[in-house]
Amino acid sequence: MNFCPKNTPGLYDPKFEKDSCGIGFVANIRGVPSRQIVDDASNMLCSMEHRGAHGYESNSGDGAGITTAIPRQFLTKIAASEGWDIESPEHFAAGLVFLPQRKKERREYKALLEDLIRDNDVRLIGWRDVPTDAILANLGASASDSQPVIQQLLLDPGSTEISDFERRLFVIRKLITHQIRNQETSEALQFYICSLSSRGLVYKGQLSPDQLFDFYPDLRDPDFHSHFAMIHARFSTNTFPSWDRAQPFRFIGHNGEVNTLRGNINWMRAREMQLASPYFKKSELLEMRPIAEENCSDSGNLDNVLELLLMSGRSLAESVMTLIPQAWEKEVNLPQDQKAFYEFQSNLMEPWDGPASVTFTDGQSIGAALDRNGLRPSRYYITHDNKIILASEVGVLNIPPSEIYAKGRLKPGDIMLIDFQEGKVLFPDEVKTEVASKHPYRTWLNQEQVPLENLSVGPQPEPYGMAELSRKLLCFGYSVETIDFILLALINEKRDPVGSMGNDEALACLSDFSKLTYQYFKQLFAQVTNPPVDPIREESAMSLRCNIGPSGNLLETSKEQARRLVVEHPILTSEDFSRLDSLSTRNWQSQTLDTTWNHQEGEAGLEKSLHHICNEATQAVRNGVHFLILTDQAVGPERTPISSLLACGAVHHALIENGLRTKVGIIVETGEAREVHHHCLLIGYGADAIYPYMAYQALIQAIGQESSEPRGPAVLEKTYKKSVGKGILKVMAKMGISTLQSYKGAQIFEALGLSTEVIETCFKGTPSRIGGVGLNILARESLRRHSEAYKDNAEDLQLGNPGEFHWRAGGEEHSWNPEAISTLQIASRAGNRSAFQHFTEEVDAKSRDLCTLRGLLRFRDGIQPPIPLDEVEPAAEIVKRFCTGAMSFGSISAETHKTLAVAMNRVGGKSNTGEGGEDPERFTLLKNGDSERSAIKQVASGRFGVTMWYLTNADELQIKMAQGAKPGEGGELSGHKVDQTIARIRHSTPGVGLISPPPHHDIYSIEDLKQLIYDLKNANSQARISVKLVSEAGVGVVAAGVAKAKAEHILISGNDGGTGASPLTSIKHAGLPWELGLAETHQTLVLNKMRSRVVLQTDGGLRTGRDVTIAALLGAEEFGFSTVTLITLGCIMMRKCHLNTCPVGIATQDPVLRAKFDGQPEHVVNYLFLLAEEVRDYMARLGFQRVQDMIGRSDLLESLSDLEHWKRKDIDLSRLLACHKESNRQVQSKEKQQFHLEARLDARLIEKCRPAIENKHRVRVDSPVKNTDRTVGTMLSSEIARKHGLKSLPEGTVHIHLKGSAGQSLAAWLVSGVTIELEGDANDYVGKGLSGGQLIVYPPAESSFESHHNVIVGNVCLYGAISGSAFIRGQAAERFCVRNSGATAVIEGVGDHGCEYMTGGRVVVLGSTGSNFAAGMSGGIAYVWDPDRSFHSRCNLGSVGLEQITLHHDDAEELFNLVQSHSDLTGSVRAQELLKDWDTVLGQFIRVMPHEYKRVLKGQNFAA
């Protein structure tokens, strides 16, 4: 039985299901099988319980499994008992198969499989039922109901050679899987082969980690031996039972997410026709298609492709390195041969990009690898007795310290292998060297590759005459805004231009204006399940380079495959483009396809022409053309352009369909594309390179008009290209994608308002959930522009201003127009009901007039009888459901921030701090009884001012995963906005700019979020934990995961939320309206039976009673307002927040402007009550007494049916309105999330520390600790903070001595007066948010390794630390001291990205550092001991300078004292050695000094 609702009428789509996990393996390096290894695996699984998840039933896990070697002893015993005849006991294969519960199909499928086995000359030894014990395992009802029949089969190779036997098994598995699962019935989908091999065997299921061994008695059999065991504990965002999605797969265990999946699958499809291998018949290869199977998770698809590579002769390591290459493009320290290997492989395969920690095995070896960004932990121990344990965490097996020979971790891009035949561990460099030396890749590349710049330059275009230019610009929809806001800004600002406030423009699919096809698309972005990346500070992992043009057979490795055109940047200048003329000199044929149509053919001409160019393209490639150039240069009086996006998408998909795409490069020569968003879309739908000729022409003309010195066309084009490149990287980065090669064709977009016809023709696989306009409408829009441009009696040919960015009279509709703003201000100032009515009428009318999806809805009166108004709950009750949105103190002025807080506190609603912290003075009541304390304290990626005291003073803690105006991006507060006060509150330096990283560095996956929720609950058990998400396709699935991660409150923000500063690309084109996100979330949570666990809130452009009522009916219980409240306080949508020039003193820190602030709390209060009264009117009309009763009652809404509008008429909102019967009931039956805090180690610590907490007596506690003891010290700190406030306890009051492996988040927000001394090691996030406490970590005395060579603490330690100190004897993994505000730390080595974004404090590194040290560091000082003078090559010098320290330096003494303390507190051998020869050693230290910090310390340019 498959519960997965494949075709629900609503918005839930299983395609978006995400998962992440705990993974690991244990193995005997010499390949000696034992029972112990299997037992170890069992223990490991149980200690990673917290990384897996449960659904609504506590005993239905998301999936757990194990891969072992074929347990020959055990299976031989079974065979004997079954009376089977095994001919080759060393080589027989075994497989575990899930079969349907229904007998008929089961029999049928088995027969089919047996036929295939026979056909492949393999002998079936026998079938057995695999015993299972659901009772012992305490299997939950939903897992149990969906449990397949599990059987095992044994196969004999007969005379077949063993590697060929494996290939036969592969063919059998592939064919049977397609034959059966393609039927897509629920029975067929239950058929699944977990593994079928002579080398490994998988046991898995819809289980929690601790259930696996209980469920499968086989695994407990004393004869079940193995030399390795690979395990997996799954955390899925969904709870729908899916036994087959449990891991490990046949070869891998994957903790991660493939962000580029859609592209990878499409490219694989495209390659399949070209596949050829001596190991397989051509017909077999064709029958095995698709290699990447349908109905499979991203990890499953990765496994599919890895399997293909392995089976066609590649080694395990090579295959993994091909699929998940390290960041080789810009890595200077990478050996040439390795670089050549990666470069060569990039011709055959794009990276499967995304965070990934992978374990893999083919039975002969086992290994692990990390993606290029190293975003998932992977740590290992090697013991003296040849055992290796590798896992997402340390401490998963209890190993006495004396037995440990080495401890380590994988670094970004690392791969490690244990070769059982050789009996040794191959460390990353050995693995890579071996793989890279297999072929002379560098020679091949040098001989065959053709860099674009090696082709000769051809003639370049002449500038158009004025009239022709004007007509063409009009025809391509250029406007004054295009020139001013986009093109000139790209040149002048040298980046994707920045704007502010939210997008309130009409949606393209509703607008009366003719829109470009690009405007119907919204960018998707990463949230929760994988992190966005920082393309600026972590540029080393990013790449725009692509090899394009025909590529060869994936399964072959030959010199010819290097023969491709190397394009360093997808945007071509005129010079670049002219080089393509000489493609023929390299024996490449190119063909130009005209992408215009005769306007006299009318609307139908578009579809016809699209089909025509697709046929032409297909034919051309069949005829041997290597490059297609799609061009709209023919535009003129007769010819109107096909949108380059439609043309590119259609050709790309037609070629994929015909298996031809990889034989050709697609170059788009377009007058239409000019914005970053346009280029991203073209690349996302398959363009290999783009020549935006009109953008250049327009720029040359526009710049020529400026009075300042004219810049030459070549310079302009290069600047444009560079700025666009930065923008593209940012768009990729917000999805967490690092390479353009993987982004290409990955379709990371959602269409809003395009019909199925358009999607199927041009954008196959793109979600488009409300249907919408067809090709005829897109054609009409193009024709309209054409007729404007080429009409006979043109009044003039000047560009118009459609008012898409700024409101313009007669231009595009905006929700916030002058009328709406001024009437709202009048209403809220006077509390005037009729003015308010005027306001809501205006706004609701605008909403109907095209601005929003909710504008297309209307209430269904009469479903329930109306009730008298006085029966409706009072407004005073309703306003309690209102919050203000997160606006940081920093982005808005102190006056505004406080006014909002006072207003919300007066009505009993909640204000939100935003991400900038809050002045502790505001936590005390004012004399008049008002409170300026924000009830919601936000925790964002920058962690500014997130101290224990801040967390303590919250009613709600909100984790901001994304922001509507810039999802997937971090913010920046420029130095001039950081005045004394802001610096004090953010714990930074006045005058020094601040950066919020794109991701929370402690949330790279859903289980990380679960950990942070847990941390925050520990920090303030009375606060509700909220997670803020932004609407996009799949947000409901993410929200289900968030609910499983135990969030108590989820906010779904719309894309139109405001911002103080954000790229216009993001404001306009990222994320989706809240209506979709909210409805999807509500529906998905209801389907998952999780709705009752969380409170759902929405925000993003809510303004009127109608908005609130619709939001409630779609599932929201609480409502957030931001822009609208600012407008009541005087905001007039100046859209200048990013310039600090807000003329009404709201979004500015300039004291002169702040003095102009004229808002009063009454204004906000008036508005909220006027609003609530309006909601009451609607409630009375719809027959509801309480808001709570309306939640999720989407049956009271319907689409406006009388829509004759040319665009709107085809929009279908039925999925939005899908109503589930139990929906409202689930909302009503609130269940609390369970945290079991009372059972924690901290509960015991608190008891023991009572004398300290109550009376400040000194207390010492000794305790063992293990990896399941997470967030140790935080609840204790919270207790102390509650009692003693900001000042906490005197130094040294509490001393806690721990021994063992500490779980994640040790000492998070530890307050002053508390010392934690850990003898052992610790996992990730040690000391996050450290709030004054002291932390000492050192290895146990009995351990035998050198501490400074071994990793003792995990990733992201001291993230967002505020103050306090940490002395760590040993190395930290990646991202040590990220965003440290003021803590002091001494450590003996750090991984990559050390001190990233750091703004204060001192860090001393007495050992090696990884690369990209100090990226984005703006404050504080780091001292790095660098005896071999190599540090500079690993330091990111973007914002810091490196200096020598001398004896006379002021800080020489500070440094000495810190090293001395380190030695004293940790017994560090390294410190002792250094101190012995201090005078020499001092000269070997490098002082890492941020430029800005240095300037400010010197007192220059800053007078506060």
Partner 1 sequence: MGKPTGFLEISRQSAPTREVEERLKDYKEIFTNPPVEHLTSQASRCMDCGVPFCQSEPGCPVDNLVPEWNDLVYKGQWREALDRLHRTNPFPDFTGRVCPAPCEGACVLGIDASPVTIKNIEYAIAERGFEENWIQARQPMARTGKRIAIIGSGPAGLAAATRLNQFGHTVSVYERDDRIGGLLMYGIPPMKLDKEIVNRRVRIMEQEGVQFHTGLNVGVNLDIQELNEKSDALLLACGSTRPRDLKIEGHHVQGIHFAMDFLRTTTKSYLDSKLRDGNYISAENKRVIVIGGGDTGTDCIATALRQNCRSLINFELLPEPPQQRNSKDNPWPQWPRILRQDYGHQESEAKFGEDPRQFQISSKKFLDDGNGNLAGIQTVRVEPDGDGSFREIPGSEREWPCDMVLLAMGFVGPEDTITPKLPIQMDDHSNFRADFGSYSTSQQGIFAAGDCRRGQSLVVWAIREGWDAAVQINRYVSS
Give me the residues that bind partner 1 (CB under 8 A), please.
480, 501, 705-707, 792-796, 798, 800-801, 806-810, 814, 816-819, 821-822, 825-826, 829-830, 1130, 1132-1136, 1139, 1141, 1143-1144, 1150, 1152-1153, 1156, 1158
Closer of 546 and 789 to partner 1 (Cβ) = 789
| Residue 1422 burial (C-beta neighbours within 10 Å; 0-12, 13-18, 19+) | buried
| Residue 676 burial (C-beta neighbours within 10 Å; 0-12, 13-18, 19+) | buried
Shortest distance in whole angstroms from residue 494 CB to partner 1: 18
What tokens were used for 1237?
């805090």
How far apart CA 319 and CA 324 sit, in angstroms, is 9
Which residue type sits at 1237? L
CA–CA–CA angle 915, 1377, 978 (5° rounding)? 40
Q: Give yes or no for a contact between 597 and 608, defined as CB atoms under 8 angstroms apart.
A: yes
What tokens were used for 1137?
């927040």
How distant, in Å, are the alpha carbons of 526, 965, 1099 from that of 1065? 16, 9, 21
Shortest distance in whole angstroms from residue 705 CB to partner 1: 6
How far apart CA 167 and CA 174 sit, in angstroms, is 10
Closer of 334 and 702 to partner 1 (Cβ) = 702
Q: Report the C-alpha dihedral over residues 1038, 1044, 1050, 1056, rounded to 10 degrees.
A: 0
Closer of 130 and 826 to partner 1 (Cβ) = 826
Q: Give yes or no for a contact between 232 and 19, defined as CB atoms under 8 angstroms apart.
A: no
Among the listed residues 838, 840, 953, 856, the one whose alpha carbon sits nearest the alpha carbon of residue 905: 953
How far apart CA 612 and CA 593 sit, in angstroms, is 10
Residue that the structure tokens 């450290």 belong to: 1330
Helix (H, G, I), strand (E, B) or coil at 428: helix
| Count of beta carbons in the 10 Å neighbourhood of residue 411 | 17
Shortest distance in whole angstroms from residue 1135 CB to partner 1: 3
Under DSSP, the state recorded for 83 is T
Closer of 830 and 1180 to partner 1 (Cβ) = 830
Q: Give yes or no for a contact between 499 and 744, defined as CB atoms under 8 angstroms apart.
A: no
Shortest distance in whole angstroms from residue 946 CB to partner 1: 32
Shortest distance in whole angstroms from residue 1163 CB to partner 1: 12
Closer of 152 and 1122 to partner 1 (Cβ) = 1122
Under DSSP, the state recorded for 59 is T
Closer of 972 and 1392 to partner 1 (Cβ) = 972
Among the listed residues 152, 156, 153, 151, the one whose alpha carbon sits nearest the alpha carbon of residue 85: 156
DSSP string across 338-362: HHHHHHHHTTT-----S-EEEEEE-
Shortest distance in whole angstroms from residue 1196 CB to partner 1: 34
Q: Is the dihedral of CA 562, 564, 565, 570 positive or negative?
A: negative
Helix (H, G, I), strand (E, B) or coil at 462: coil
Sheet holding 356-361, edge to edge: 252-256, 356-361, 365-370, 415-419, 424-426
Shortest distance in whole angstroms from residue 481 CB to partner 1: 10
Q: Is the dihedral of CA 657, 659, 662, 667 positive or negative?
A: negative
Closer of 830 and 1497 to partner 1 (Cβ) = 830
| Count of beta carbons in the 10 Å neighbourhood of residue 439 | 16
Which residue type sits at 1379? R
Closer of 1063 and 1339 to partner 1 (Cβ) = 1063
Catalytic residues: 21
Closer of 501 and 1040 to partner 1 (Cβ) = 501
- What does residue 1229 show for φ and ψ, rounded to 5 degrees? -90, 80
Closer of 503 and 1274 to partner 1 (Cβ) = 503
Q: Give yes or no for a contact between 243 and 50, defined as CB atoms under 8 angstroms apart.
A: no
Closer of 403 and 979 to partner 1 (Cβ) = 979
Residue 642, phi-psi category: left (phi > 0), alpha (psi -120 to 50), beta (remainder): beta
Shortest distance in whole angstroms from residue 522 CB to partner 1: 22
CA–CA–CA angle 506, 511, 513 (5° rounding)? 120
Helix (H, G, I), strand (E, B) or coil at 1030: strand
Shortest distance in whole angstroms from residue 727 CB to partner 1: 21
How far apart CA 1134 and CA 1150 sit, in angstroms, is 16
Closer of 397 and 491 to partner 1 (Cβ) = 491
Shortest distance in whole angstroms from residue 536 CB to partner 1: 24
Closer of 811 and 1400 to partner 1 (Cβ) = 811
Taking 3-state DSSP, the helix, strand and coil percentages for the chain, each rounded to the nearest 5, stand at: 40, 20, 45
Helix (H, G, I), strand (E, B) or coil at 1098: strand
Q: Is the dihedral of CA 1050, 1055, 1056, 1061 positive or negative?
A: positive
Shortest distance in whole angstroms from residue 1055 CB to partner 1: 18
